[in-house]
Every structure is written in C-alpha cells, then in structure tokens.
C-alpha cells in the first residue's frame, strides 16, 4: 500500500470512528422520552429530588451574581444552563465518591456536603473556604485549567489500591480538553485501570474561543480513544441522559473496568465569570435563543408535570427555601474572622523558608498591635 493510499485509508477510518460518537439523549426539548432503552431507573421521589436540586442551584446562581455585584462575593462563575450536567452527574454518585471540581463546579460540592457558607468564603479567597470538611471527599475548586485531571487519576489509583468501591470524578470545560493535563490524566488512569470518571462540560466556549476553533475533532468524547478508554457524548441539557451516562460509568469503574470520558454538550447562559467577560462580543443572540429553548429546567419540568409529580407550588417552595438558606449562609460567611497576611503565609508552607519566616514575624508583630 502506497503512502497516499495509507493516508486515505486513515481518513476513512477516522470518519467511521467519529460516526460512532452519537449524542445520547433520553428527553427531547419538549420533555418527551425519546430513548426508553436508556431511561434510568429512578423513583418518583428521586426524580423530584433531582428537580429540587436543579431549581435550588439556578436560584443560587442568580443570588451569587447579585452578591458579587454588591461586592459581597469575589470570584463567581455563573452556572445557569449547566444544571443538568452538574447536578444530574452528581446525583449518580455516592457519598464515598471523591470530587475534583473546576471553578464552576461549586454546586456539586454543595450537594456533596460542603456548607454553602464555606463555598462563599472560597469565593472571597478566604483560606477557610479551601478547608474541605473531613467527611467530604473533595478538593477545593481548581483554578488552573485541566490540572484536576491529573489529580483525579492519582486519587482514583489511590482508591483502587485501598480496595475502595468508590470513584474519583473530575470536571473541566471544553477549554480544558485542549490542555496537556487532560490527556496525561486520562492516559495514566487508563493505563492503570483506575476508577475515574472524566467529565468535560462542553459549553461551546473556552471563555470566548469556540470549541470548533480549539480542535479539529468533531467531538471531545472521541479523544478517549487515544487513552484506550471508552468515551461518550451526552446531551448535557438532559438530566436523565447525564444521570444514565455517569451511573453506567460509575458501575464500570467500581467493577474494575477502568475510567470513562463523558462529554456533556451544554451551554452557560451567563458570562464566563463575573470578572468583566461580555458574552455578547462572541455569541450571537440567535445562538442564545436557540439554547434557551433547550433549558434543562424547562425540559425536566415538562417531563415531571406530564407524570403528574411536579407542581408550581412545589417549585415556589424550593425557591423560597433556597433564598432563605443563601441569606443565612452569606451572614455566616460575613462572621468569619478576617483573613490576615500571616494566615496566608502559614497555610502556604508547612515550614516557612528563612526569608518568609522573617517577614512572618514582622507581620505578626503588626497584627498584634
């Protein structure tokens, strides 16, 4: 076979491989079941609980943005639009599982057991915000893009060596899939068959760069092939599809079958962060309108109403509960001791270098006055 024919054959093989990565969907935009075979086995109470958490998270996003604008929160990465991707994926986990989140993934930490007041302190850059509770398997949200993928591989291998029936799950955005850590983490986990779940929340833009510019690959899910692990693309606006995919990936992992890459195709309705990003500079109004029709809360609400297990009154009740608990949490955060320079230095090093020890003593003396 000539070199030219070999390349042509390679192109054909790529096209055939890409055709296999069809997006998994259970509910369409109208809340209708379009894939009975993939329907997860959830009771009516579980379905309602999932909806409650998604509604709560939408309100948390709205209030966090308001608190940021008031100067009461620091770093805030809006989550509206990604509730199905975030909350339904977490809903498929168990308490003993370990979460390695990106900076937009504070909702998963909340539902995993981290107090909301502590997450507000993390937003403010307070050192207490990064101290995860002892009974919660999680790391603080990772600011470095994609770095949590390598950490997840290590945590997952540790779980395997200890014989734990649990998984390490990590999240990044589509921009994270362009980082070297993304490939290295998956490759390591695949080589050692570590119980890891790698999720890429493809919200279409790495800040302002569209995913089509980041990679020539038609899907992010297909990148799993190079690591020798399965990959699946999921409708990230469909909570039942996300739950089904993560649940299956978890089952594989705890049964010793290794890691899985899941691409959730989703959309963030707000800016990348509240630090000055203007999405109107790189997104069209038509695009935003198109994705608003796919709203995960609207879709799931229609499905539950069709089943007769959800009402406007129930939704209003959870909205009021969320508002009250958010109000209480920010008040608790406000009462936290003011962070000092010496706190920063002491928490950065186990043993301070000589030059910093000298500065530490100077600041300590100033703070005592």
Residue 58 annotated to the active site: no
Packing angle, helices 239-254 and 44-69, rounded to 10: 110
d(CA 200, CA 195): 17
Residue 268 annotated to the active site: yes
Q: From the candidates 58, 90, 272, 299, give the one annotated as an active-site residue.
A: 272
The torsion angle over the Cα atoms of residues 78, 46, 111 and 198, rounded to 10 degrees, is: -70
Q: Which residue has the tokens 């909570």?
A: 239
DSSP notation for 112-160: HT--HHHHHHHHTT-GGGG---TTS-B-PPB-STTHHHHHHHHHHHHHH
C-beta neighbour count of 73 within 10 angstroms: 22
Q: From the candidates 104, 268, 283, 299, give the one annotated as an active-site residue.
A: 268
C-beta neighbour count of 126 within 10 angstroms: 19
Packing angle, helices 44-69 and 312-334, rounded to 10: 50
Is residue 3 exposed (0-12), middle (13-18) or buried (19+ Cβ within 10 Å)? exposed
* Of 306, 315, 318, 319, residue with least CA distance to 44: 306
Tell me the sheet residues that pair with 173. 201
Q: Who contacts 231 (Cβ-Cβ below 8 Å, separation ≥6)?
A: 21, 219, 220, 221, 222, 223, 224, 225, 260, 261, 262, 263
Q: Who contacts 32 (Cβ-Cβ below 8 Å, separation ≥6)?
A: 303
Q: From the candidates 183, 269, 282, 360, give the one annotated as an active-site residue.
A: 282
Answer whether 253's CB lies under 8 Å from 188's CB: no
Q: Which residues are known to be catalytic?
A: 268, 272, 282
């Amino acid at each position: 076979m000539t070199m030219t024919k070999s390349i042509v054959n390679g192109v054909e093989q790529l096209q055939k491989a890409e055709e296999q990565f069809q997006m998994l969907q259970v509910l369409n935009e109208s809340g209708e079941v379009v894939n009975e075979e993939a329907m997860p086995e959830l009771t009516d109470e579980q379905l309602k609980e999932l909806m409650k958490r998604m509604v709560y998270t939408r309100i948390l996003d709205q209030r966090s943005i308001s608190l940021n604008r008031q100067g009461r929160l620091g770093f805030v990465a809006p989550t509206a639009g990604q509730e199905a991707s975030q909350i339904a994926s977490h809903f498929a986990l168990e308490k003993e599982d370990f979460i390695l989140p990106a900076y937009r993934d504070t909702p998963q930490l909340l539902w995993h057991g981290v107090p909301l007041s502590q997450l507000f302190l993390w937003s403010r850059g307070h050192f207490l915000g990064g101290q995860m509770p002892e009974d919660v398997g999680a790391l603080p949200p990772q600011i470095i893009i994609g770095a949590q993928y390598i950490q997840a591989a290590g945590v997952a291998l540790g779980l395997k060596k200890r014989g734990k029936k649990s998984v390490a799950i990590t999240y990044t955005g589509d921009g994270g899939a362009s980082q070297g850590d993304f490939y290295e983490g998956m490759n390591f986990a695949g080589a050692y068959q570590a119980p890891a779940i790698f999720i890429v929340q493809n919200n279409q833009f790495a800040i302002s760069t569209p995913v089509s510019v980041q990679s020539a690959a038609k899907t992010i899910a297909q990148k799993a092939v190079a690591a020798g692990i399965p990959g699946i693309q999921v409708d990230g606006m469909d909570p039942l599809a996300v739950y089904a995919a993560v649940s299956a990936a978890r089952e594989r992992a705890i049964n010793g079958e290794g890691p899985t890459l899941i691409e959730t195709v989703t959309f963030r309705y707000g800016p990348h962060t509240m630090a000055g990003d203007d999405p109107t500079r790189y997104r069209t109004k038509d695009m935003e309108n198109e994705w608003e029709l796919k709203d995960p809360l609207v879709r799931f609400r229609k499905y539950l109403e069709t089943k007769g297990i959800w009402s406007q009154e129930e939704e209003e009740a959870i909205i009021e509960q969320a508002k009250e608990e958010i109000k209480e949490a920010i008040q608790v955060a406000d009462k936290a001791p003011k962070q000092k320079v010496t706190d920063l230095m002491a928490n950065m090093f186990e043993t301070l270098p000589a030059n910093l020890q000298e500065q530490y003593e100077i600041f300590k003396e100033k703070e005592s006055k």
